Every structure is written in structure tokens, then in C-alpha cells.
Homo-oligomer: A and B are copies of this chain.
């Protein structure tokens, strides 16, 4: 499977840091296996033994690296959340602003969603399994979008307006475009989607002459 952006080095990761190279390898196998297991079956249907079976380790070894099923799930949620943020950030052209920049962020996000199909199932189930992380993920994302908007308004590339509402609206737009066109089906080209979204954000639904 596609490996999520390196969780073994992230500060959000497990409390039990392995000391040997062998240990680090096992940890990585467990994390990859967990992403697959949680992505396929959801948090509650997923089982620790399913994770260790995929990872090829003994059941007991799991607890050498994680305190609980919740702990590895949390680690994964936070990594996914970071992964999304990084993917969006990485796709921005230095110096871009306004609607153009939003398009770039969306493009990066769509590409990330296509690579990480388990993204939605992991984030979404966090609503139940790790509500704090769930809320943190969306509030953090909205805050970053909002910061871009504030910046764009200051730069004159965006009309002043209710940036808080705008940020949540645009985040919702991105999330659902990612679900429909990134995860559920690939019947449309990413650039098409991004172009349509950009047009919507630029001109609204009845502008654009």
C-alpha cells in the first residue's frame, strides 16, 4: 500500500520508541498494517490481531510499540491530518495568492486523496474514536484556509468578507470534491475538477459574464 507520510519520525507518534533497527522496522510494519486495516474495516471492525496478521508479527508484539488500539489509531489520525496539510502546502506555488492559490491547494489535496484512499475512513471514524483529533483536524484545516484568505484580502487578491464562514465553506467544498472525485470514482480529471472549483470561487454561480 501507499505509505503515509513518515509517521515514525513525527512527534505525534507512539510513546514507545524502538531502540534497535529491527524494532524500527517492526514499528513501521505495524503502522502500515494499521493504516490498511483501519482503512479497510474502520476503527471498530478493525482488530489488533488483524493488524499484527498483516504486519506479520505476533499479537503480543503490538503492545511493545503501542499502548492500545486507540493509541495507534490516534497516531494514524494525526499523521493523516499532517499528511493532508503537507500535501496541500507542498502544492502551492511560492507567491501565489487568492483564488489561484485555492485551486493549487485543492489540486494537491485531490492528488493526496487519490493516493490515500483510506484517508476518509480514518478521519471520519475519528469522529467517534478520537473526537479531539477529529475536531482538531477540521479546526486546524479551517484555520489554515482562513489564514490564506486573510492574507489574500490584505494582498488585494480577494474581496473582503466573512472569512470564517468562507473558510469552512471552502473546506467543505474540498472535502466533498475529494470524496466524490478522489475516492469514490476517478471518472473526471483532477484538473477539470480544480478548474470548475476555481471558476466557482472566482465568479460565483451567476457572475463571470
A138: chain B residues within 8 A (beta carbon): 176, 179-180
Q: Are A205 and B166 within 8 A (Cβ)?
A: yes
Is A209 close to B, CB under 8 A? yes
Q: Which residue of B lies closest to A98 (CB)?
A: B206
Copy tally for this chain in the complex stands at 4
| Per-residue B-contact encoding for A194-207, CB less than 8 Å = 1, 0 else | 00110111111111
Identify which of B142, B172, B200 contacts A175 (C-beta below 8 A): B172
Is A173 close to B, CB under 8 A? yes
A188 to B138, CA, bound (A): 18
| Per-residue B-contact encoding for A173-188, CB less than 8 Å = 1, 0 else | 1111101110010001
A159 to B138, CA, bound (A): 31
Chain A interface size, under 10 / 10 to 19 / 20 to 34 / 35 or more? 35 or more
Q: Are A208 and B159 within 8 A (Cβ)?
A: yes
A152: chain B residues within 8 A (beta carbon): 205
Q: Are B205 and A98 within 8 A (Cβ)?
A: yes
Looking at A23-31, A88-96, A119-127, the stretch in contact with chain B turns out to be A119-127
Identify which of B102, B159, B174 contacts A203 (C-beta below 8 A): B159
Q: Are B135 and A128 within 8 A (Cβ)?
A: no
Q: Are A169 and B197 within 8 A (Cβ)?
A: yes
The 25 listed contacts between A and B (C-beta, < 8 Å) are A43-B128, A45-B128, A99-B204, A124-B124, A152-B205, A159-B207, A161-B196, A161-B200, A161-B205, A162-B192, A162-B196, A165-B181, A165-B193, A165-B200, A168-B179, A171-B172, A171-B176, A172-B172, A172-B175, A200-B204, A202-B205, A202-B207, A203-B204, A204-B208, A207-B208
